[in-house]
Amino acid sequence: MKAKVPFLDLNAHHLPLRAEIDRTIGRIIDSGIFAGGPVVAEFEEAFAQFCESPFAIGVGSGTEALWLALLACGVGPGDEVITVPNTFMATAEAITYAGAKPVFVDIDEASYTMDPARLEDALTPRTKAIIPVHLFGQTAHLEPILQFAQAKDLYLIEDAAQAHGAECNGRKVGSLGHVGCFSFYPGKNLGAFGEAGAIVTADAGLKDKITILRDHGQVKKYYHQMVGWNCRMDAIQAAVLGIKLAHLDDANTRRRAHANQYDQRLAGHDQIITPWVAPYGKHVYHIYAVRVQNRDRVKKQLEDAGIESGIHYPVSIHLQLAYADLGYKPGSLPVAERVSREMLSLPMFPELMEEDIDFVCDTLLNATVVDFGARPLAMTQ
Ligand SMILES: *Cc1c(COP(=O)(O)O)cnc(C)c1O
């Protein structure tokens, strides 16, 4: 059965662009250039401009972007990289695949992003880099994180996979650290027709190294300066992304309007915590997540009414089986763990209708009121 309100509707977004996309894909097929090439270079230039950063390098996914960024910064075996546990697995995976050890710090309960006050305790002589995550489209509190990174001579790698177009102190995220990493997974604010990602940087040395690494370490065809990997971007993805990039600001504006409508409808109900908006940031609402008690039951009630919702993320990365060897125990990062039990992501995409949001809010308010009466959530923010 088709949902009354889907979590995401990519078709609705692509419909008005469809003829232009079909024509452009046709041109790529005719050109016979599918891996890298001039269409990728053109998109890289446009994306660098969008991010207000000198260079962008297209790669095969956001995961590859993070991995190559770490390799280019010289992160390897014996090193530690500080990041957060409430993110998609890829953030930590990239650290592991670079040969280093992820060290998780807890998050700030208002913003759900890295708590800068936790960095000092996580620092060791092996710490080489910090990866804050701009979660759900909200920038991490980069100013104190940048100051810390500078003082301790660490690389700052931004995981901007969920925050294309978000800002921190008036500057586009991805452009503030040494390197910014983006994903163009189809469901992201800027999504390809398959897998793709990009790295932005202002450092020409890092740009050169990443460009070589993503293409088997080649400086020119069959001349390998170092051992790299195949992390090239497809020309078809670059072409699709180039078309969609022109509509990204408009799409983000619509997401912000939807978030505003949710905020107003859900305000003043103490059984629901709506997203906090950082005064230093511009939020682009990749995800609109509220916090409720008895989350799984509320989710089921939405589902029964035909409303799709999501959970980002049900298990903090430090408690995943894959990282059992790191030795974290339940309770070691209490804010991230509490939030992971309460988060519920509501439908959010640019083409969402006002009446859909009203219906989601009515259903949600009904579900939470019936379930918990007037029991307020323990708010610590
Ligand atoms: C999507 C995502 C990634 C990984 O990107 P892929 O393109 O799926 O490899 C990394 N970090 C975060 C925070 C993400 O949301």
Distance of CA 222 to the CA centre of its chain: 35
d(CA 312, CA 341): 10
Nearest atom, ligand 1, residue 183 CA:
7
- Mean pLDDT across 306-323: 98
Whether 372 shows a pLDDT value over 80: the answer reads: no
> What is the per-residue pLDDT across 54-80, written as a single tens digit (0 to 9) for each?
999 999 999 999 999 999 999 999 999
How many A from CA of 269 to the centre of ligand 1? Answer: 33
In the 8-state DSSP scheme, what is residue 196?
A: -
Distance of CA 248 to the CA centre of its chain: 15
- Mean pLDDT across 242-260: 98
What pLDDT, on a 0 to 100 scale, did the predictor assign at position 1? 64
Which residues line the pocket of ligand 1, CB cutoff 6 A? 61-63, 87-88, 90-91, 133, 159, 161-162, 183, 185, 197
Nearest atom, ligand 1, residue 61 CA:
7
Q: 381: pLDDT confidence band, cut at 50, 70 and 90?
A: very low
Task: State which of 70, 88, 134, 181 you would mutate to test the pocket of ligand 1, scoring each by most atoms of that ligand within 8 A of its C-beta.
Answer: 88
What pLDDT, on a 0 to 100 scale, did the predictor assign at position 334? 98
What pLDDT, on a 0 to 100 scale, did the predictor assign at position 91? 98
Q: 380: pLDDT confidence band, cut at 50, 70 and 90?
A: very low
Q: 375: pLDDT confidence band, cut at 50, 70 and 90?
A: low
Coil/strand/helix, residue 46 = helix
- CA dihedral of residues 28, 31, 33, 37 (deg, nearest 10): -80
Nearest atom, ligand 1, residue 196 CA:
7
How many A from CA of 33 to the centre of ligand 1? Answer: 27
How many A from CA of 62 to the centre of ligand 1? Answer: 5
- Mean pLDDT across 9-37: 97
d(CA 337, CA 352): 30
> What is the per-residue pLDDT across 136-169, written as a single tens digit (0 to 9) for each?
999 999 999 999 999 999 999 999 999 999 999 9
Whether 367 shows a pLDDT value over 70: the answer reads: yes
Task: State which of 134, 185, 241, 312 you would mutate to test the pocket of ligand 1, scoring each by most atoms of that ligand within 8 A of its C-beta.
Answer: 185
Question: Considering the chain, what is the average pLDDT of its residues?
Answer: 96
- What are the Cα distances from residue 327, in Å, to 155, 317, 330? 25, 12, 10
What pLDDT, on a 0 to 100 scale, did the predictor assign at position 368? 81
Q: Which long-range contacts (CB under 8 A, 24 or more apart) does 32-37 make?
A: 33/235, 34/234, 34/235, 34/236, 35/232, 35/234, 35/235, 36/215, 36/232, 36/233, 36/235, 37/235
What pLDDT, on a 0 to 100 scale, did the predictor assign at position 371? 57
d(CA 201, CA 205): 10
Ordered by where they begin, the domains of the chain are 10-106+114-245 (3.40.640.10), 248-379 (3.90.1150.10)
How many A from CA of 379 to the centre of ligand 1? Answer: 29
- Contact (Cβ atoms closer than 8 angstroms) between residue 48 and residue 179: no
The single-letter code of the amino acid at 158 is E
What pLDDT, on a 0 to 100 scale, did the predictor assign at position 227? 96
The residue behind tokens 């505003």 is 260
Whether 44 shows a pLDDT value over 50: the answer reads: yes
pLDDT above 70 covers a percentage of the chain that reads 97
What pLDDT, on a 0 to 100 scale, did the predictor assign at position 179? 98
Whether 373 shows a pLDDT value over 80: the answer reads: no
